[in-house]
């Protein structure tokens, strides 16, 4: 199975178009660096939980929506090499300057799938 990087971020609702534009610019770069698939999902049905939930995880404000995204790589080693290339690429730095959300509240991590059915 492939390796997956997962992300959750709060984006001001008014920045949806800017977020989508940024994602559309970034996806080809991720693929150039080794990603197999890039998926971006805008919240549609994200309920408040009793103990925790997506909104609380990223401290989403009333005017913000949650974005859930993932990037698939062939392996963790390919992901690690891609991350090194991204950190050194000036195009990625320029995209980082365009982020239409508070990156400090983003949560992310690498995951090894245990079921893909």
Count the Cβ atoms, other than its own, within 10 Å of residue 97. 6
Which of helix, strand or coil describes residue 68? strand
Tens of each residue's pLDDT in the chain, 117 residues: 899 999 999 999 999 999 999 999 999 999 999 999 999 999 999 999 999 999 999 999 999 999 999 999 999 999 999 999 999 999 998 988 889 999 999 999 999 999 988
Q: Are 108 and 43 in contact (CB under 8 A)?
A: no
Report the distance separating Cα 103 and Cα 88, nearest Å: 19
pLDDT at 96: 85
Report the distance separating Cα 54 and Cα 43, nearest Å: 10
CATH number listed for the domain at residues 3-111: 3.30.70.100
Q: Are 56 and 49 in contact (CB under 8 A)?
A: yes
* pTM of the complete model: 0.92
pLDDT at 1: 80
pLDDT at 103: 93
Report the distance separating Cα 58 and Cα 82, nearest Å: 25
Q: Where do the domains of the chain lie? A: 3-111
């Amino acid at each position: 199975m492939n390796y997956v990087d997962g992300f959750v971020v709060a984006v001001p609702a008014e920045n949806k178009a800017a977020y989508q534009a940024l994602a559309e610019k970034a996806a080809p770069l991720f693929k150039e660096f080794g990603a197999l698939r890039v998926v971006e999902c805008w919240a549609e049905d994200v309920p408040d939980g009793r103990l925790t939930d997506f909104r609380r995880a990223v401290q989403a404000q009333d005017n913000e929506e949650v974005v859930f995204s993932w990037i698939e790589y062939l392996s963790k080693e390919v992901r690690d090499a891609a991350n090194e290339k991204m950190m050194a690429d000036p195009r990625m730095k320029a995209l980082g300057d365009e982020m239409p959300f508070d990156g400090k509240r983003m949560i992310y991590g690498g995951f090894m799938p245990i079921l893909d059915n």
